[in-house]
Chain A
Amino acid sequence: QKEVEQDPGPLSVPEGAIVSLNCTYSNSAFQYFMWYRQYSRKGPELLMYTYSSGNKEDGRFTAQVDKSSKYISLFIRDSQPSDSATYLCAIPLNSGGSNYKLTFGKGTLLTVNP
């Protein structure tokens, strides 16, 4: 079983839709979770990070962790065409959460249509 699994999509939604992007992970000891966004022809950039369980909100974006199910989600409210990108979940493999042992999901390609 891979450490992090992510549905590659692609996902296509109309402008204004609520988007749900998801990853599952295998090791219940993981405590730190990140979402990176990658626009076409660009490198990834950190969007949000969370620690342990619960929700974290930043504007239209909400990151959610369900440790009992080993499931992490990124919700985008009122999606915009500018949100069209590939979204990658990332988890540090070591218990301390160090960023030099990140494992990335394969990424989900999202297109928001005007």
Chain B
Amino acid sequence: DVKVTQSSRYLVKRTGEKVFLECVQDMDHENMFWYRQDPGLGLRLIYFSYDVKMKEKGDIPEGYSVSREKKERFSLILESASTNQTSMYLCASSAGTGFDSPLHFGNGTRLTVT
């Protein structure tokens, strides 16, 4: 069974702090994704990575960066956290890029920026 593990379930940070959200998958998947999920807005793609050191912007990359130094690990970085980045952050991985290659999600990190 695929396991996607996000390092923290809850995180509280102050405005202006640099924040790292970590995600690890154990199935040797090529592709990894970061989404945020907000009430009334649904799931929105921030970044995805299709290989080590490779990344592509999603729909809402502003204020975020990512790092993928190893295949199994994908980090989301908030360079200077702001209150509008308070959200549920979900990491996902997939073996392929076809529509029949499901995204396997972690259980999320709820980030609060005060």
| B97 & A100 in contact (Cβ 8 Å cutoff) | yes
| B42 & A104 in contact (Cβ 8 Å cutoff) | yes
| B94 & A99 in contact (Cβ 8 Å cutoff) | yes
In the complex, chain A residues whose CB is within 8 Å of the CB of B100: 49
| B101 & A99 in contact (Cβ 8 Å cutoff) | yes
Other than the known A99-B103, A100-B48, what 5 A-B pairs have Cβ atoms closer than 8 Å?
Answer: A32-B99, A45-B102, A100-B31, A101-B45, A105-B42
**Residue contacts A-B, CB under 8 angstroms, 15 given:** A32-B99, A41-B107, A41-B108, A43-B92, A43-B108, A49-B99, A49-B100, A49-B102, A51-B99, A92-B99, A97-B98, A98-B99, A99-B94, A99-B101, A99-B102
Nearest to B110 among chain A residues (CB) is A41
Of B41, B43, B48, B98, which is in contact with the most chain A CB atoms at under 10 Å from its CB?
B43
Nearest to A97 among chain B residues (CB) is B99
Count A/B pairs, Cβ under 8 Å.
64
- With contacts A100-B56, A106-B42 taken as known, whether A46 is within 8 angstroms of B107 at the C-beta atoms is no
Interface size range of chain A in the complex: 20 to 34
Nearest to B91 among chain A residues (CB) is A43
Which chain B residues in 20-42 approach chain A with CB under 8 Å?
31, 33, 40-42
| B43 & A88 in contact (Cβ 8 Å cutoff) | yes
| B42 & A43 in contact (Cβ 8 Å cutoff) | no
- The docked-state distance in angstroms from the alpha carbon of A104 to that of B44 is 8
Chain A contact surface mostly:
mixed
| A102 & B98 in contact (Cβ 8 Å cutoff) | no
- A34 CB within 8 Å of chain B: yes
Interface size range of chain B in the complex: 20 to 34
| A104 & B43 in contact (Cβ 8 Å cutoff) | yes
| B97 & A43 in contact (Cβ 8 Å cutoff) | no
Partner of B42, one of A34, A42, A99, A107: A107
In the complex, chain B residues whose CB is within 8 Å of the CB of A49: 99-100, 102
Of A34, A100, A101, which is in contact with the most chain B CB atoms at under 10 Å from its CB?
A100
- With contacts A43-B92, A100-B33 taken as known, whether A106 is within 8 angstroms of B103 at the C-beta atoms is no
- The docked-state distance in angstroms from the alpha carbon of A45 to that of B41 is 19
